[in-house]
Amino acid sequence: MKVEFLGGVRTVTGSATLLEKGSLKWLVDCGMFQGNKENEERNWNVQPYQAKALSFILLTHAHIDHSGLIPKLVKEGFRGKVICTKATVDLCEVMLQDSGHIQEMEAEWQNRKGKRAGKDEVPPLYTMEDAEKCLRYFQTVNYDDILQLADGVKVRFQDAGHILGSAIIEIWVEEGGQEKKIIFSGDLGNSDQPIIRDPSILEEGDVLWLESTYGNRLHKTREETTQELLKIIQEAIAHQAKVVIPAFAVERTQDIIYTLGQFIRKGSLPSIPIYIDSPLAISATEIFKRNSDCFDQETKDLLSGGENPLEIPGILYAQTTEESKAINEDPRPGIIVSASGMCDAGRIQHHLKHHLWREESHIVIIGYQAEGTIGRRIVDGAKTVRLFGEEIAVKAHIHTLGGFSAHADQKGLLDWISHFHNPQLEVFVNHGEEEISLGFAQLVNEQFHFKTMVPHWREKKVLFGVEEKVMLEEVKEKLPPEEQFFVLFRHLDRTYKKLRRKLKREKKRGEEIYDLKRLRQLEEVSKKLEELEEEL
């Protein structure tokens, strides 16, 4: 069993791992790199993903940093199955096409600039059409069902509590008569997150990929966080100002809608305009309503009591550009929720341009802001940021509310891993910025004595199983017969030498101890060797 770390290591984006069992190859996640030029270059060279040779892609969830390169791989010849939950397929349908649209716009912009500089045209990474085409390869799996994917490979998807449809993936691999279990935590959610169920608890495993986005941080409680948000909104109302919330279209937006709905249902907030300004978020909210089987008990109870937690009085959806522009003409105090969540694309940039410089406005950051994004610069206290070629002063109140995060914090991650009882568990710490992953890996090692490792990009490893055996299997398929003989003889030679060394050691020991049980075992070996000799 071999693995290659293709992304989401020592960084939060581009999640992808290549797994190989003999000639069978597959990926777990196939995410896009985002937020940093050097990393984004990797999106263009997908040759290491071996698109044509892959049998399937197991997809933990719909976020672009996990799914965003699937259209690119289909373009490069991937014809296997993408296996994920139904809600993930529904979300990918809108999110990948949205991503294709962004890629087209990006290329158009580059080309306009390039033309003036006399450069050749560049094609987009992939188009909306490519994204649409890739959907035909998706196949759904129910949570908890065990799916046999190939000889000696079974998988099961369990709740990850991160976004709608998100999963932890368990993979059982049989090799050399032994079965081992590999687990990908995917992105793990907070246990008190509304709407969706909490992450499933797992206890057994041999190798674990564990995310570490917030491996160094503790979130405030949900209750404290919602109270903080309420106060911010009340203050904005008192000053006739606006609250701007950059939010990922999926999950964070619905979480905010749910939370604002709770304020209004409880009467702690008057009915004020709440703008959801992101066509993707509007589609995602519809998908949420269609996948209510993924909801937690509290949300199901609300639904059966006749309340729709995703529909609240005062909510206004802006679908068109005109509707989006009209928001900034509304003089009333209100709330604007818009994407992208890291402020580096989309309509949120217009709202930031409109509000960042206003002292009375409030900007509320609720999601993870990757290095290199505009959102990160705002959080880090930049005095100005560049938007649409203009330098905009940052004078508004900036708030960061970690408690709305879709990721477990350090305590949540440690709690989750504490249930594993195999002392031999090997842990690959991934999906985190380098320093954070390294620190968290050390912490896990100190607390649970599990062997931890923070892999590098493109690093390869052999999991349980002798490297040579894996090589031999490869040889069987790829090499011409004469070379197969050569490799096989070398292997026989090595095995014979190893056996000689063992026998010598045994002989020495046998001169010192006279153990009857051992004698019988050696008799058995001797008989087998004679048989072998005859066979040869």
Instruction: Please identify, among the stretches 58-66, 88-96, 111-119, 476-484, the one whose residues bind Zn ion according to the rule CB under 5 A.
Output: 58-66
| 232 or 294: CB nearest Zn ion | 294
Rounded to a whole number of angstroms, the minimum distance from the CB of residue 401 to Zn ion is 18
Residue with tokens 């912490």: 443
Q: Does 159 bind Zn ion (CB under 5 A)?
A: no
The secondary structure of residue 42, as a DSSP letter, is: G
Q: Provide CB contacts within 8 A for 431, sequence distance 6+.
A: 8, 12, 15, 187, 211, 212, 213, 437
Q: What's the CA gap between 299 and 282, in Å, rounded?
A: 19
Q: What's the CA gap between 289 and 311, in Å, rounded?
A: 10
Rounded to a whole number of angstroms, the minimum distance from the CB of residue 417 to Zn ion is 18
| 67 or 349: CB nearest Zn ion | 67
| 274 or 406: CB nearest Zn ion | 406
Of residues 400-459, those binding Zn ion (CB under 5 A): none
- Give the per-residue contact string, 185-224, with Zn ion (x = CB under 5 A; - = no): --x-------------------------------------
Instruction: Please identify, among the stretches 57-65, 277-285, 503-511, 527-535, the one whose residues bind Zn ion according to the rule CB under 5 A.
Output: 57-65
- Among candidates 417, 424, 428, which has minimal Cα distance to 460? 428
Query: C-alpha distances in angstroms, 316 versus 238, 241, 282, 336, 358?
Result: 21, 17, 10, 10, 23
Instruction: Please identify, among the stretches 92-100, 183-191, 302-310, 417-425, the one whose residues bind Zn ion according to the rule CB under 5 A.
Output: 183-191
Instruction: Please identify, among the stretches 182-190, 285-293, 363-371, 521-529, the one whose residues bind Zn ion according to the rule CB under 5 A.
Output: 182-190
Q: What's the CA gap between 479 and 357, in Å, rounded?
A: 66
Instruction: Please identify, among the stretches 56-64, 153-161, 241-249, 387-395, the one whose residues bind Zn ion according to the rule CB under 5 A.
Output: 56-64
Rounded to a whole number of angstroms, the minimum distance from the CB of residue 431 to Zn ion is 6
3-state SS, residue 241: coil
Q: CA-based diameter of the chain, in Å?
A: 96
| 86 or 491: CB nearest Zn ion | 86
Tokens representing 499?
């056996």
Q: What's the CA gap between 408 and 160, in Å, rounded?
A: 10
| 104 or 344: CB nearest Zn ion | 344
- DSSP labels, 245-264: EE--TTTHHHHHHHHHHHHH
| 241 or 343: CB nearest Zn ion | 343
Rounded to a whole number of angstroms, the minimum distance from the CB of residue 368 to Zn ion is 8
Q: Provide CB contacts within 8 A for 364, sequence distance 6+.
A: 229, 232, 243, 244, 245, 399, 401
Q: Does 63 bind Zn ion (CB under 5 A)?
A: yes
Rounded to a whole number of angstroms, the minimum distance from the CB of residue 213 to Zn ion is 7
Q: What's the CA gap between 499 and 161, in Å, rounded?
A: 51
Rounded to a whole number of angstroms, the minimum distance from the CB of residue 91 to Zn ion is 11
- Give the per-residue contact string, 16-55, with Zn ion (x = CB under 5 A; - = no): ----------------------------------------
Verify cis geometry, omega within 30 degrees of 0, for the bond prior to 283. no
Instruction: Please identify, among the stretches 59-67, 85-93, 469-477, 500-508, the one whose residues bind Zn ion according to the rule CB under 5 A.
Output: 59-67
Parallel/antiparallel/unpaired status of strands 390-393 and 384-387: antiparallel
Q: What's the CA gap between 218 and 209, in Å, rounded?
A: 21
What is the identity of the amino acid at 233?
A: I
Rounded to a whole number of angstroms, the minimum distance from the CB of residue 162 to Zn ion is 5
Rounded to a whole number of angstroms, the minimum distance from the CB of residue 166 to Zn ion is 7
| 159 or 187: CB nearest Zn ion | 187
* Terminal Cα-to-Cα distance of the chain (whole angstroms): 29
Q: Does 65 bind Zn ion (CB under 5 A)?
A: yes
Of residues 243-282, those binding Zn ion (CB under 5 A): none
Rounded to a whole number of angstroms, the minimum distance from the CB of residue 249 to Zn ion is 12
**How many other CB atoms are found less than 10 A from the CB of residue 19?**
21
Instruction: Please identify, among the stretches 65-73, 118-126, 141-149, 473-481, the one whose residues bind Zn ion according to the rule CB under 5 A.
Output: 65-73
Rounded to a whole number of angstroms, the minimum distance from the CB of residue 235 to Zn ion is 31
| 275 or 416: CB nearest Zn ion | 416
Query: C-alpha distances in angstroms, 422 versus 402, 417, 418?
Result: 32, 11, 11
Number of residues that bind Zn ion (CB under 5 A): 3
Q: Which parts of this chain interact with Zn ion (CB under 5 A)?
A: 63, 65, 187
